[in-house]
Structure 1
């Protein structure tokens, strides 16, 4: 059987008839060939990208393993028999699952007080505040531990910021110190949201909410605000605010000049220099100054409870994997759009 595509002696065949250059005139065949070649190139690119991705994951895994083993051998031993000043960091947002959560701060406080070498505890605060519940837990625990260990004083040192819930915690200390430029105060409670009722109407969208209670969805930003519900919510915030005020007054006592300055509880915030005049703090000073001149032991031992090296590595590793997957999926979507 004769192959119709085999070139003849005069370099012609049925498709190339009348085409002395020997080029096919069938565009469909060339397009199919071109698509096949492009598909192969794209598949090779995908393979290379996945190869790079998995190599990166392997590198991160090995790096993390080295980091974990290195941390295990270089972990600082906290506490000891030598006299020292215990330092506990209250840094960032005060909330559950955060570095400044009640669980972590309370664990650190208990470890510090129970250590036989602790001669005083310093809460080094740099926080905008956060949950009143978490702050209240820490406040109560400081008061409880002070009764159990009357010989171990607690001092709060505000660095950049000690506001709202952070000041709530600081007010439980025996004395509060800050820098002249620190920001102190913000004794108030806030709850914020948005309203999108008019936006939905302009877009022609109908909001449908089904509840088993008359006011169950009163915080829904897509429903009109009712005066009665606003008044109720304001009463909840006012109650929480009064709890905050009572705790600060109990902690600060007569040092707080609230009678002359009722604006102390308005939610305003002051510099450290102003806070000293208002009785919000007791003196200007730093952690090292308090340890050296007030407690009398300049040896600082950090009792802050932080995530383990494994937890930190897991979070970073998870974030890296998510980022790489997002990039990969984004590239794949882009290819599909093309």
Structure 2
């Protein structure tokens, strides 16, 4: 390709003064196209080289285990060959001494029996090692397949959680800037709603706007039956001095979480078994309680959506 570019460049230089403008322009275009094609091929070679390096690294790990088993098999084969050679030598000695001494014959006969027993033991060990080697090879193949299946399942669940986050963000667009955020991290989706969207101060009654937001969230969750839904209530660190029926911030946060669960349960398509309400009180702040802005952020409901990991757990147990 570089040779073609060089020839074309020289051709353009030689004929630029003696050919028509159209021919010169065509040569320029061809030169530009060849440069572009050269860059594309160079990028492709680098990409293929990187892929090849990764595949070679994976292959080396499997090859190391395989080579270890082959080395053990070869060691046993060598011992077997040496023992067999020793037996053959003793047989030759036995034949030479057979005529000279019955005592020597008896001694060599005993050695022969011992060597035969050793030889049989080596044969059995070699056969067992060959069997172990084949079993290891099959186990490596099976484990590689299960790892690939696990990676596919994890990738699919991550994709599903991204799609769930996007669906929730789209459904709750009207509440952006009103104390509602939607994030995805650590394989989970977090929907955070500040109290100003949901509750009056010291109350666990959900207002009309907050109820609408929770119902719109529920409409998305109803379409995802394989998601575990944890509703956490959070407060700031200001001691609760409202309703005497409550014991404090922890009790208030629990009642607020339960209020959100009750709204979600109005949607019959949401499986109640997927719902969990929890009160965290003031003990999981996301901002400093030293400012009014920080305390406002800490007074919130967090809906934590987690994919069910039964399939992944099974694959991990099988590896």
The TM-score, its normalising length taken from structure 1, stands at: 0.29
